[in-house]
């Protein structure tokens, strides 16, 4: 849980098919009236249910699972980090610079969050004496964040609880093989999202360049 610390929740299946509202096949509505744009009924559907709605339904299912998982990891991370006087987010930022100092923007990129969010957390860590800013030879204004000895001791105190929970989670996932397969699937999903984001950015740049060229051709 050194990457994205979370909330353990019971009933991950959302109560099962028993509690799932029926869908109106014509309009994608549900008896509870809570369908999204893709017509997915409220509640957590299983893979076969989602597949019936095609790619949009699968996207909804993946996004819902990812949002839920993020909340679970954040809550669990808070519980594991509390004995060291940390929160999940402070733990995450401190661990990101454990091996080498990084600028706040670099930490934000690694975490996939806004730089401003990391900046606030980094400032708190510095105030607590758990991290410090140091000059950045590559960029005068973008200082590097590094853990202090106190910060490293705080991370070390998380070890036993972290190891114990990792063993429990591995057991739930069917052992090391299941754990590795889960990690591989998550990394594949993240890589696909990054590739799509890069495509969108490139398309936006091309569109902007085309607009500029069109404006230049028209003249003043």
State the Cα–Cα distance between residues 93 and 112, nearest whole angstrom. 12
Asked whether the beta carbons of 162 and 80 are under 8 A apart, the reply is: yes
More confidently predicted of 184 and 8? 184
Using one digit for the tens of pLDDT, what is the confidence trace for 54-73?
888 889 889 999 999 999 99
Q: Which of 62, 17, 65 is nearest to 41 (CA)?
A: 17
Predicted pLDDT at 45: 54
Which residues are paired to 30 by β-bridges?
A: 23
Look at the chain and report how many structural domains it folds into: 1
Task: List CB contacts of 159: < 8 A, sequence separation 6 or more.
Answer: none
State the Cα–Cα distance between residues 176 and 186, nearest whole angstrom. 15
Q: Which of 183, 154, 150 is nearest to 166 (CA)?
A: 183
Strand runs labelled E in the chain:
102-103, 131-134, 144-147
- The length of the chain in residues reads 220
- pTM (2 d.p.): 0.66
In a domain, 57, yes or no: yes
Give residue for tokens 């860590």: 125
In a domain, 16, yes or no: no
Instruction: Write out the two tokens for 147.
Output: 């853990």
Helix spans in 52-175 (H)? 54-81, 88-96, 104-111, 115-127, 149-157, 159-172
In a domain, 75, yes or no: yes
In this predicted structure, which of 14-18, 55-59, 140-144 has the lowest mean pLDDT?
14-18
Instruction: Write out the two tokens for 56.
Output: 């949009």
In a domain, 38, yes or no: no
In a domain, 31, yes or no: no
CA distances from 68 to 74, 94, 214 (A): 10, 24, 45
Which residues span the domain enclosing 135? 43-172
In a domain, 179, yes or no: no
State the CATH number of the domain containing residue 112. Answer: 1.10.10.10
Predicted pLDDT at 209: 85
In a domain, 152, yes or no: yes
Share of the chain above pLDDT 70, in %: 73
What is the 8-class DSSP label of residue 82? G
In a domain, 17, yes or no: no
């Amino acid at each position: 849980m050194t990457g994205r610390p979370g909330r353990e929740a019971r009933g991950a299946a959302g109560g099962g098919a028993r509690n799932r509202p029926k869908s109106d096949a014509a309009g994608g509505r549900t008896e509870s009236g809570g369908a999204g744009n893709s017509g997915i009924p409220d509640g957590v559907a299983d893979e076969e249910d989602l597949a019936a709605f095609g790619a949009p339904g699968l996207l909804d299912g993946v996004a819902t699972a990812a949002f839920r998982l993020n909340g679970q990891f954040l809550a669990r991370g808070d519980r594991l980090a509390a004995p060291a006087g940390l929160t999940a987010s402070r733990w995450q930022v401190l661990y990101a610079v454990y091996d080498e100092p990084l600028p706040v923007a670099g930490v934000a990129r690694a975490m996939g969050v806004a730089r401003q969010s990391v900046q606030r957390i980094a400032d708190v860590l510095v105030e607590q004496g758990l991290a410090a800013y140091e000059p950045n030879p590559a960029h005068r204004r973008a200082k590097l964040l590094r853990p202090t000895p106190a910060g490293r001791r705080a991370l070390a105190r998380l070890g036993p609880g972290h190891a114990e929970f990792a063993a429990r989670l591995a057991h739930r996932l069917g052992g090391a093989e299941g754990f590795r397969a889960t990690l591989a699937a998550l990394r594949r999903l993240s890589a696909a999202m990054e590739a799509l984001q890069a495509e969108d950015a490139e398309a936006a740049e091309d569109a902007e360049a085309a607009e500029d060229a069109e404006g230049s051709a028209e003249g003043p």
